Amino acid sequence: MTKDPTHLSDDAAGLMAEVGEVVAAQADVHFTDDRLERQRAHILERLEHEARHGRVISFPAAPTHAPASRTRPRVRWVAVAAAAGLLIGFLSEHVAHRARPVQPSAIAAVDTGAETLQLVAAPLSEEEFLGRMEMAVEGTAGSALRPLDDLTPRVWEVAAQ
Amino acid sequence: MSRTTSRRTIASAAAVPPAPAAPVVARDSALAAEIKALVLAGRRDAARERFAELVAAHQRRATRIAYQYLRDVHDVDEAVQDAFVKVFSHITSYREELPFDVWFTRILVNGCLDLRKSRSRRLRWVLPTPADSTPPEPVAPQPSPEERLLASERGRRIAAAVEQLPERQRMVFTLCQVAEQTTSEVSQALGLREATVRVHLFRAVRKLRVLLERER
């Protein structure tokens, strides 16, 4: 017969029982009957609290697609708003582009374009051309350039000399 | 080895009277099965009432086990509460063929280990509080038998000897000697082989004998 390693003599068994009592007393000295009573009350409170919370969740009885339908209109609304914004932006840009007032310089360019064609057809003399240029410059240039203009010798004056 | 034989062997080794233990275990397992049936039937209030009986039956044993792991009254309180709450939340997964106390002990031990891990993580960043800041229980006019035992010279020596045991040996010893579990049950609760549990128990007993008989 093999010897059981945990088999103890009566003396040793008594000693171990004594050790067991001390180990138990280390916890028992802190956990009195009152404290255990309070602990039990806390445990039952927690269970009751968790049960109350559990009632709020109606899974799996509730239809699973209900929350999805609640969020979907919001998503759809945002998508529609974004598309509408894009369309409005595009249209307003288009309208603004068409309604933009034509620059006077552009009209002049068109008008002078006809004259340019005319000039090509019937070329002006050099003096006449420069005179027209001078008139055009005088018409569009600001008064700030007038002193500079006064200092500049005229072409026909130079040609006459 | 059968469960009864195993219990008898340890009981004789630990000098624990085996007679009352077995019926209590069987009754608790039956009670747990009854609570499970009530929960499955949707009668949670009735299940909670019955569960209070189970808590009362295992509470003291649970605090003794948890105290050996945690050594802090607040942590012990928290671990025991959590273990009972977890048991009730998972009662539907309880298998009737297993003893309830083994299942419960396993949940409790795992909870204690988790709590200890989180405590050590917490202490890495926060200054440690004094060893035990528990407000003392109202002072009784007479010291309790436990206080008298711990205050005695013999009690102090035994407590010091238990402190010198490696943790695994101390836990196996506590579960066998204090929680009155067989080596088979301890092996299931701790997730160890039964042979390993027996070796730890043997070494714990031998060391305690050496330490304490030297002082006799």
Specify if A23 maps to a domain: yes
Specify if A44 maps to a domain: yes
- Higher pLDDT pick, B140 / B68: B68
- The whole-number pLDDT of residue A55 equals 54
pLDDT at position B104 over 90: yes
Q: What is the pLDDT of residues B196-209, one digit of tens each?
A: 999 999 999 999 98
User: What's the CATH class of domain B6-126+143-213?
Assistant: mainly alpha
Q: Where are the domains of chain B?
A: 6-126+143-213
Residue located via tokens 């440690």: B128
Ranges assigned E (strand) in A6-123: none
Residues of chain B numbered 93-132 and touching chain A (CB < 8 Å) = none
In this prediction, residues B43-47 reach a mean pLDDT of 90
* Lowest pLDDT segment from A102-106, B89-93, B110-114: A102-106
- The last residue of one of the domains, among A35, A55, A75, is A55
- The whole-number pLDDT of residue B128 equals 56
Cis peptide before B143 (omega within 30 of 0): no
pLDDT at position B9 over 50: no
Domain that holds residue A153: 123-161
In this prediction, residues A127-138 reach a mean pLDDT of 74
CB distance B15–A43 less than 8 Å?
A: no
Look up residue B124 and give its amino acid: R
In this prediction, residues A1-5 reach a mean pLDDT of 45
Specify if A113 maps to a domain: no
Specify if A85 maps to a domain: no
Mutate to test the interface with A, among B134, B158, B213 (most CBs of A within 10 A): B158
* Lowest pLDDT segment from A110-114, B90-94, B142-146, B200-204: A110-114
- Higher pLDDT pick, A47 / B137: A47
- The whole-number pLDDT of residue A39 equals 94
Q: How far is B155 from chain A (nearest CA, A)?
A: 6
Specify if A65 maps to a domain: no
Task: Count contacts between A and B (CB, < 8 Å).
Answer: 144
Q: What is the pLDDT of residues A112-131, one digit of tens each?
A: 545 555 555 566 777 777 77
CB distance B177–A20 less than 8 Å?
A: yes
Give alpha helix (H) positions in B139-193. Answer: 145-151, 153-163, 167-173, 183-190
Mutate to test the interface with A, among B178, B187, B213 (most CBs of A within 10 A): B178
Chain B residue numbers with beta carbons less than 8 Å from the beta carbon of A30 are 63, 67, 73, 76, 134, 137
What is the rounded distance in angstroms from the CA atom of residue A138 to the CA atom of residue B212?
123
* CA nearest to A4 within chain B: B9
CB distance A47–B48 less than 8 Å?
A: yes
- The whole-number pLDDT of residue B89 equals 92
- The whole-number pLDDT of residue A50 equals 79
pLDDT at position B33 over 80: yes
Residue located via tokens 């003392």: B136
Highest mean pLDDT pick, A97-106, B20-29, B90-99: B90-99
* CA nearest to A25 within chain B: B146
In this prediction, residues A98-112 reach a mean pLDDT of 55
pLDDT at position B160 over 50: yes
Q: How far is A64 from chain B (nearest CA, A)?
A: 22
Q: Which of A6, A18, A48 has its CB closest to that of B201?
A: A6
Specify if A90 maps to a domain: no
In this prediction, residues A140-160 reach a mean pLDDT of 74
pLDDT at position A159 over 80: no
* Lowest pLDDT segment from A72-76, A155-159, B4-8, B148-152: B4-8
**Contact partners, residue B78, CB within 8 Å, separation at least 6:** B115
Domain tally, chain A: 2
Average confidence score pLDDT of chain B: 81
- The whole-number pLDDT of residue B154 equals 82
Q: How far is B9 from chain A (nearest CA, A)?
A: 7
Residue in B92, B85, B126, B127 with CA at minimum distance from that of residue B107: B85
Residues of chain B numbered 22-61 and touching chain A (CB < 8 Å) = 44-45, 48, 51-52, 55-56, 59-60
Specify if A150 maps to a domain: yes
Chain A residue numbers with beta carbons less than 8 Å from the beta carbon of B13 are 4, 6-8, 13, 16
Interface confidence (ipTM) of the complex: 0.75
- The whole-number pLDDT of residue B91 equals 92
Chain B residue numbers with beta carbons less than 8 Å from the beta carbon of A47 are 48, 51, 85, 88
Residue in B197, B51, B53, B168 with CA at minimum distance from that of residue B109: B168
Distance of CA A121 to the CA centre of its chain: 61
Q: Which of B13, B76, B155 has its CB closest to that of A22?
A: B155
Chain B residue numbers with beta carbons less than 8 Å from the beta carbon of A61 are none
pTM of the model: 0.59
